[in-house]
Amino acid sequence: MGKTPPRPAVIAFVLALAIAAVVRVAFRFDGLYGQDAFAYFRFARAIGPHLLRGAPLPLLFWPRGYPAAVAALLPLAGGTPLAGQLVSALGVAAAAAATALLASELQRGRGRTPELAVPLVAGGCVAASGIALRLGQLVMADGLALGLAAIALWTAARHARTGHGPSLVACALAIAWGAVTRWQIGLLALPVGAALATAPAARRAGRWWALALAAGALVLLPQLWAARSVPGALLQHEWLVRWNPSNALRRDFQTTEGSAHYHAPVGLFYLLRLGWPDALFPTVALLAAFGGWQVAKGRRPTELALLLGWPLVNWAFISAIPYENPRFVWPALPAVSVLAGLGFERLRARAAPRGRAWLAAALVTSLALGLGFAAREHAHTVSRKNADRAVVDWVDALVPPGITVWRAGGTLMAEHYGTTKMRDVYLARPADIPALLARDGGCDYLENRDDIEKQWAGRPPQAFFEALRRQPGLTPVAARPPYVLYRIDGGGGRPQRERAR
């Protein structure tokens, strides 16, 4: 047997980067959207001053693996959010390449010379998936986590087949760095452990196991120590505190983020996302289902653990949390894409020459359609972000210097783009109002009516707003539905307000 051909991995890597570059140029989007992206970027920019001068780090509720990678690329990107997008795009490209290598490695584990079709389809299904298009544009941890999950799967398969010690160390490092990027990736240790426990070559690794565990601990332990000082960061996180298998059947939840009323039960939602047009086109999902059936019949322990075990472990965990977010299901994308490659190969082997051409055309068309749906959804994201940015500019135009604007959440975008001083009162209580007014002096309040009346109904932000309305009182200044800007009465001396716009 010769060496594994590198072409599919190279093609997948280049394709993923090309798609990311085209989308970045076409949409002129800086990757900052919602609160989370701004929190990651703010923390990444603070790492350099912290290391050089001991400057304090801002609070970050999530693990620090992603902002650490962003901080390393900040000089290359001129200190802009492009550094975060580069990390995400490179993470997605690495996921595509590692998925192709995973497919080739598993074929070699069957004692066969790798065929071009399986790794090419597997890597292409990652590179050209709708979820990869979108993750590669965001200043968020998901793209890097996806890449690390794929690398862990590939190196685990390599070690299971050959007993190659450095692959075991690389696998441990990928899982540990993945966990300190998104805690969820730490679950990958379960299927990887099962795969290696059943592989004779892996059991002979000896001292490499000790080295792998030490390397993983060096990455993981500092983050575990840092998480101790952040409320709700790990052991107090709602994903753990409120994890319950019965949540898979529920649609309505009350969480710290407010009221959530979903259209489908949580468990069903995550299953449906595996074949959602703007994520992984249904045709690809059907190929993966067929490939999964073939793997189940083959009963090869490594394939069962890595290709079926990992998606099942991931799905079982996220189906029991009280949240629905399509991003949570996609650490399983590399395994699902290899299943699609295997399904494609089996159908292709059974088809006549003309049928093979039609099958290839159907796959390419499906990937193209998925990219189209994903681009449309990404355009909606950019449009919503631009609308939120316009609200920041609107507030800056209305609020005179020296006035502090209170709002419940959403302050990080205003801090990044705006000039008006903002205070986040999401966690504030009505009893805090006198002390806050004494500290800030003249204040305004920016209300999002949809949030107050729906998402936060009966929650602390609504109670705080209603307490402000009663005492000291609120006077409407301007409206930009669903936003209303109020003057907080009795807030001390106030500069002259500019004309309303």
Q: In this predicted model, what pLDDT tens digit does every residue of 440-492 receive, in sequence order?
A: 888 999 998 888 877 777 788 889 999 999 989 999 999 999 999 999 986 55
How many percent of the chain have pLDDT more than 90? 74
DSSP state of 477: E
pLDDT at 501 over 50: no
Rounded to whole angstroms, the maximal C-alpha distance in the chain is 83
Please report the pLDDT score of residue 499 as a whole number. Answer: 40
Instruction: Characterize the bridge pairing of strands 421-424 and 483-488.
Output: unpaired
Note the pLDDT tens digit of each residue in 64-109.
999 999 999 999 999 999 999 999 999 999 999 999 999 999 999 8
Which residue has better confidence, 58 or 498? 58
Report the DSSP beta bridge partners of residue 475.
Answer: 487
> How confident is the model over 161-193, as pLDDT tens digits?
999 999 999 999 999 999 999 999 999 999 999
Give dist(CA 263, CA 146) in Å, integer.
27
Distance CA 211, CA 199 (A): 19
Q: What pLDDT was estimated at residue 202?
A: 75
More confident residue, 141 or 493: 141
152 close to 174: Cβ distance less than 8 angstroms = yes
Joined tokens for residue 296: 């189940």
| pLDDT (0 to 100) of residue 361 | 93
Amino acid at 152: A
- pLDDT surpassing 60 at residue 194: yes
Over residues 417-441, the pLDDT tens digits come to 999 999 999 889 999 999 999 998 8
pLDDT of residue 114: 67
Average pLDDT, integer, range 139-148:
97
pLDDT reported for residue 496: 52
With H, G, I as helix, E, B as strand and everything else as coil, classify residue 128: coil
Q: Which helix (H) or strand (E) holds 159?
A: helix 142-162
Buried b (16+ CB within 10 A) or exposed e, 153-186: bbbbbbbbbebbbebbbbbbbbbbbbbbbbbbbb
**DSSP bridge pairs for 258:** 255
E-strand stretches of 159-264: 252-255, 258-261
**Token pair for 460:** 């602390």
Q: What is the pLDDT of residue 498?
A: 46
Q: Where are the beta strands (DSSP E) in 167-293?
A: 252-255, 258-261
Q: What is the 3-state secondary structure (H, E, C) of 26-64?
A: HHCCCCCCHHHHHHHHHHHHHHHHHHHHCCCCCCCCCCC
pLDDT at 1 over 50: no
The structure tokens listed for 42 are 């703010």
C-alpha to C-alpha distance for 275 and 408, rounded to whole angstroms: 35
In tens, the pLDDT along 343-388 reads 999 999 888 888 889 999 999 999 999 999 999 999 999 999 999 9
Instruction: Indicate the helix (H) or strand (E) that contains 478.
Output: strand 474-480
pTM of the model: 0.92
Q: How far apart are the first and last CA of the chain?
A: 73
In our burial notation (b when 16+ CB lie closer than 10 A, e otherwise), range 295-323 reads beeeebebbbbbbbbbbebbbebbbbbbb
pLDDT (0 to 100) of residue 494: 54
pLDDT band at residue 500 under the 50/70/90 scheme: very low
**Average model confidence (pLDDT) across the chain:** 91
pLDDT at residue 257 in the model: 74
